[in-house]
Amino acid sequence: MPQLETSTMIWITSLTVTVIAWLIFVSPKLVPMLSRTIHQTAEDVPRKLTIIDKITLYMSSVLMFIVAFIMAFMFYEVVMRYFFKAPTLWVEEMSRWLGGVIFLLSGLYAMQQRSHIRVVLIYDMVSRPVQRIFDLIAAGCIIFFCYAAATGYYKNAMMKLTTWELYGSAWNPPIPATMKPLIVIACTWMAVQTINNLIADWSKPKEVHDPVDDI
């Protein structure tokens, strides 16, 4: 396994400790807010959360502070580069690394919130039993894609992880060793969340979507 630079080890350790502390002390307070759907009002009855939902929301609460971290890193880089003439080696790659994490995992929150793009013109016209058939077809397509992506990428991801492949730059962070397995994890959890949504929404009454809600 390649040896990491001291600065890389410090950042990995610091981020890991921060994430763990955030999950323990902050995430439980953010989950009720994150669980509210985009168009849900204060008078609406909140949707009952399963353990799958809670895990997804816990991960989503971490993504919130990662965005703030990227902004802080970029501000630090601007100050160091243009005011002190001492640009860093790690800010651009750290921002790219964390941005990739957000890109991969934010889709899980969108799936949990049912906020992905849907074409409901025909869906709203049919009866609830037919809607359930449509839901099954949609869920099946998502699960098939996630299964194909996760299984097809698994060997490559494990190779990157077990060899601890580094980025090959001056700072040399383990971006391939972490991001490749994260793709498999994200696809797997996307399938789990899809099944969870299907079960949770199965007994819901027919709902006609208002186009105004999407504006």
pLDDT at position 42 is 52
Q: Give how many domains the chain has, as a whole number.
A: 1
Residue 105 lies in a domain: yes
pLDDT at position 14 is 85
CA dihedral of 144, 145, 151, 157, whole degrees rounded to 10: -160
Residue 70 lies in a domain: yes
C-alpha 118/C-alpha 109 separation (Å) is 16
Residue 55 lies in a domain: yes
| Pick from 92, 115, 101: nearest CA to 197 | 115
In one letter, which amino acid is 55?
I
Residue 18 lies in a domain: yes
CB atoms within 10 A of CB 215: 5
Distance from chain centroid for Cα 203: 27
**Domain limits for position 66:** 6-214
Angle at 87 between CA 16 and CA 161, to 5 degrees: 35
Residue 46 lies in a domain: yes
Q: Residue 126, by phi and psi: left (phi above 0), alpha (psi -120 to 50) or beta? A: beta
Q: One digit per residue, pLDDT tens: the chain, 215 residues?
A: 566 667 678 877 887 888 889 889 989 999 988 887 655 555 566 678 999 999 999 999 999 888 888 999 999 999 999 999 999 988 999 999 999 999 999 999 999 998 888 788 889 999 999 999 999 999 999 999 999 999 999 999 999 999 989 998 888 888 999 999 999 999 999 999 999 999 999 998 887 777 666 55
CB atoms within 10 A of CB 202: 10
Residue 146 lies in a domain: yes
CA dihedral of 198, 26, 73, 89, whole degrees rounded to 10: -80
Residue 1 lies in a domain: no
Q: Which residues of 144-175 are buried (b: 16+ CB within 10 A; e: fewer)?
A: eebeebbeeebeebeebbeeebbbeeebbbbb
